[in-house]
A and B are shown apart, each in its own frame.
Chain A
Amino acid sequence: MSAAPSAAPASVPSSASEPLRRFLQVARGAGLRVSAAEGIDAARALDLVGFSDRSVLKDTLGLVLAKTPDEKVLYEETFELYFQRHEFSDWINAELTPSAVAQDTSSRTADGSGQEHGSEGPPLSELLESDDPAALATSMEIAARASGIEKILYLTQKNRYVREILNRMGLRAVQEQIDALRARGTLDATAEAQRLEARTERLRDSTRDFVERSLLLFARGETEALRERLLKSTRLANLDRHDLERTRVLVRRMAKRLATRYARTRRRRRRGQLDVRRTLRRNMGWGGVPFLTVWKQKRIEKARVMVLCDVSGSVAWVSQFLLMFLYALTEVLSDIRSFAYSGSLIEVSDILEDQPFDEAITRVATSMGYGSSNYGNALADFERGWMKDITNKTTVIILGDARGNGTDPRADILERVSKRAKRIIWLNPEFRSSWGTGDSDMYRYAPYCGLVRVCSTLNDMERVINDLLEAAA
């Protein structure tokens, strides 16, 4: 796209670009999505407001960089963390004032050329001697940047970076100095060596601390993304209780995305095509000149869903997620009724609707117990109580491993259900290879199901629900 005629020239202002660039990198690392255009905006905005007022600076960057409530929170954390890292405020000020930036950058390029320690600064031993925290922090910062601390990703890399930073700061020379002092053996020299050693130890600690904070700063977004990717493809049965909260957020987000997409197709269908015949008819009065248009419309049914969830010990974990998913979709699914079964079957729609999810799940669990499943019984209960509510618009979803502990599978009931319902979808958390082995009756039920799917990860689940919605539209 050509440059806007009215907008001010979008040149990147030269001042401040270096500290800002690093902050942007940190922000991206923390999981904020900052585009190049937004980076330019941030630079222009900073040119406007300057750095003198910290709260204005924070507000300004927040306006440009964080664009959802979640991102605002993330941004504020990152901002605080970033500026806390530079504990020595006079040094920040020096760095953030544009005039100092030029020198700062030049010194960094000199340093980046792979020297052991900053040639322009005093050697480390002198720094330790003077015990000047600001100078030490500057030296550490420069060494850290030279060692590419921005690329740190995992906790396991911590020690490597600590070592690298200390080396670059010139620890080896200090060590040699200590050794030399000790070799001299005089009382004075030993005392001196001890003092240096204590300070080196403190430096080591603060470096470790520094790297940890950097890890928090640079790697959070990446780790988070990685964990989410893992969670989505981990088998639900293997999910840790620890990951539950995160998974729940993930499920909600997936459900929301599906809901939006589905709402769109519905709208598109409603818009329809021109109905030529009715348009002509409507416009007879104007000699057939089409003033008013009439569109073909298709009635769209919302999906009516009945979900039967196995809550017997083996698969309860998975059904929890399915229910979670379906409840997040209530906006687009007008009519969901849920049932829980193990030895017998009950309706749990009300429990799930009225109560917060955790409580609801516990209540379902206590009322059904994590008993052993009896599919024949459960299906008989279902036929007796709710068969009459199934219409040709109802989709019946059954989640279970089809392992009835050797009881009568009663596949005949499923046959009758399949005749009444629009279709039956069976989701089995077990791998396909184990279907039909042992007490699994999967292949007895399969002929009556429109769709039989392995559903063991969140990704699987999203796919199935997507199919379901598309079939309904």
Chain B
Amino acid sequence: MQNSDNTDLPRLIRSIEEVDAGLSAAGYIASRRISTAIYIAHHLRKPILVEGPAGVGKTELAKSLATWLMLPLIRMQCYEGLDEAKALYEWKYGKQLLYTQILRDKVGTLIGDAHDLGTALDRLHAFGDVFFSKSFLEPRPLLRALEQPGGAVLLIDEIDKSDQEFEAFLLELLSDYQVTIPEIGTVAATVPPIVLLTSNSTRDLGDALKRRCLHLHIGFPDEKLEARIIASRVPGIDARLLAQLVAFVQQLRGLDLKKPPSVSESIDWARVMVLMHSAVLAQDTVRDTLNVLLKFESDIEAAARHISDLTRKAQQAVVTAR
């Protein structure tokens, strides 16, 4: 691990600041807490469970991490009914069947001169488990992540959508970076992948899972951080518009909404504003583009009542900031 030039091993992250710089080079503006989490996870070799509302950049974090570290990103989307055949491995049934058919003659000749059943069986046993070897194994995301020679970033997305049984099945992988395949044995990772699990808290995750992970909660960013994020994602944006826009979104989150706008939505909104060549936040434009920020009819209605008020405040906020 000392030699970071050695390509077989993942590079060693030396400080929290390095995480900060690396992620922002990959286009992800991380808060201090996120960088700390990555740094610690990397050194303790622990998975990180990332929780937070939708659209605050949980998945994006994994992508940027992979870009920065130049590791392949392997993503597994969880859903109800996901099982190990889809997550870990599956036998290539078709290939097995085909090969047995093709090799039928070969098998015939091999055991043809056996005099009785016992000898024939013994000879068959000698082949070992030819048809249950790795060449007949179809690796699914988890197994693939373990088999990457240079390590990988494994993203287990929306773990809360999967069943409790599946969660239990993940435990071996998360604590020891190995999985057990009954027919073959235990497969351990050559280089432990960096594992990120995300959850929207639709259900409570088990204690056993949580115990094995670091827990990172990403909430909505504060005004300063959000401005930096948008600036990095929408490079052409005017500084004044940016400040007003962020102030507006921050206020909007304070209203009682079904789904408050997340970072990804404020980025979209900023893009729209740039496309429309708006120099400042104007009430009419806000009214017309509110559906970019809010995804529920009732929310839009609720917010529409406050638009003039919020816009004025957003404009003032900039004035006082200067």
Contact = CB atoms under 8 A, between A and B. Distances in A.
Contacts of A69: 51, 201, 217
Contacts of B44: 8, 41, 44-45, 48
A88 interface: no
A6 B146 CA distance: 12
B215 A6 contact: no
Contacts of A66: 215
Contacts of A45: 40, 44
Interface string B15-58: 01000000000000000110011011001111011010000000
Chain A interface helix/strand/loop/mixed: helix
B45 A291 contact: no
A56 B201 CA distance: 26
A260 B163 CA distance: 11
Contact of B215 (A7, A48, A55, A63): A63
Contact of A59 (B36, B43, B192, B210): B36
A265 B51 CA distance: 27
Interface in A4-41: 4-8, 33, 35, 37-38, 41
A1 B176 contact: yes
Contacts of A44: 44
Give the interface centre of B80, B163, B201, B211 by most chain A CB atoms within 10 Å.
Answer: B211
A49 B38 CA distance: 12
A260 B203 contact: yes
Contacts of B164: 264
A7 B45 contact: yes
Contacts of B178: 4-6
A454 to B, nearest CB: 31
A5 B175 CA distance: 11
A67 B210 contact: yes
B163 A267 contact: yes
B216 A291 contact: no
A457 B177 CA distance: 46
Contacts of A107: none
14 contacts: A1-B175, A5-B188, A6-B176, A7-B45, A7-B177, A8-B44, A38-B211, A56-B16, A56-B36, A59-B32, A59-B37, A63-B216, A64-B214, A67-B215
A-B residue pairs, 7 tightest by C-beta:
A67-B215, A4-B176, A67-B210, A63-B214, A59-B36, A59-B33, A6-B192
Interface of A: 1, 4-8, 33, 35, 37-38, 41, 44-45, 48-49, 55-56, 59-60, 62-64, 66-69, 72, 256, 260, 264, 267, 291
